[in-house]
Homo-oligomer: A and B are copies of this chain.
Amino acid sequence: MNNKPTIFTSLTPALLHLYDLNNAVVVIIDVFRATSTIATALYNGASRVIPVAAVEECKRIGSETAGAITAGERDGKVIEGLQYGNSPAEYYREFIEGKTLVLTTTNGTKLLHMALAKGAAKVITGSFVNLSSVCSYLVEQNKNIILGCSGWKDRFNLEDTLFAGSVITNIKQHFTVHCDSSLMAETMYLQHRNNLHDFIRHTTHYHRLAAYGLHKDLAYCVTIDVADVLPVYHNESLIVNC
């Protein structure tokens, strides 16, 4: 009898309802760029990141919170009324250390709130920039895992799937994987792990963001372990797991 906990991959938020999140750890994945930016801000000393869905909520929390900065983009530009954008490059240590980042994103934040509503035991965020921390945490927790890809407006995307595949590749010996989405993600990652930077240029999201001149951001977001902390959701904030 196999008593290892399971791994399932939800390829878009529109599929999350198919999985049992009770007592599971859910990994929110939004490689371009929310979960890369969240890891980077925390790695560089932000005291916490508050992810919010709506722009007005972002402004309100920003105005009520000491040492907060508000951030969010739509179509590659900082949203009117907010202070900063979604680029991980904006959140270097000298700027973000000790501050609270109130971040509004579309796909990733939506998924995070869905996971909480569906009874996840723990919600963490992951991207290539903090791959090792994510993997260590998941093995240590020894619970069922849902790898939740944020996708793009409920559509499948490749960059989130490839990250799911990288997690599976690293930890599958400790888990039961009986899920075609996970098998596909792992297969795609194994095929492209040595040319991630090139392969990612073929994706629709890369084209969308590269059109705004964000090539450097995108290359950073698929670079492994350059912001290797583990953001854990606690009291409406993402903080570094200690």
- 14 additional A-B pairs beyond A158-B180, A178-B204, beta carbons within 8 Å, are A12-B15, A14-B18, A15-B15, A15-B154, A155-B181, A156-B181, A156-B184, A161-B184, A180-B203, A180-B204, A180-B205, A183-B203, A184-B188, A191-B191
In the complex, which of the residues B18, B155, B191, B204 contacts A155, with contact meaning CB atoms closer than 8 Å? B18
- Report B-chain residues with C-beta under 8 Å of the C-beta of A157: 180
Near B by CB (< 8 A), chain A positions 180-233 give 180-181, 183-184, 187-188, 191, 202-205, 207
- Report B-chain residues with C-beta under 8 Å of the C-beta of A204: 178-180
Near B by CB (< 8 A), chain A positions 154-187 give 154-158, 161, 178-181, 183-184, 187
Across the two chains, which residue of chain B brings its CB closest to A191?
A: B191
How many residues of chain A have a CB within 8 Å of chain B?
27
Q: At the interface, yes or no: A234 with Cβ under 8 Å from chain B?
A: no
Q: At the interface, yes or no: A60 with Cβ under 8 Å from chain B?
A: no
- Report B-chain residues with C-beta under 8 Å of the C-beta of A49: none
Across the two chains, which residue of chain B brings its CB closest to A156?
A: B181
For A12, A180, A205, the residue with the greatest tally of chain B CB atoms inside 10 Å of its CB is A180
Q: At the interface, yes or no: A153 with Cβ under 8 Å from chain B?
A: yes
- Report B-chain residues with C-beta under 8 Å of the C-beta of A15: 12, 14-15, 154-156
Closest 7 pairs (CB-CB, A-B): A158-B180, A156-B181, A157-B180, A180-B204, A180-B203, A156-B180, A18-B155
Contact B14 A14 (CB under 8 A): yes
Smallest CB separation, A107 vs chain B (Å): 13
Smallest CB separation, A206 vs chain B (Å): 10
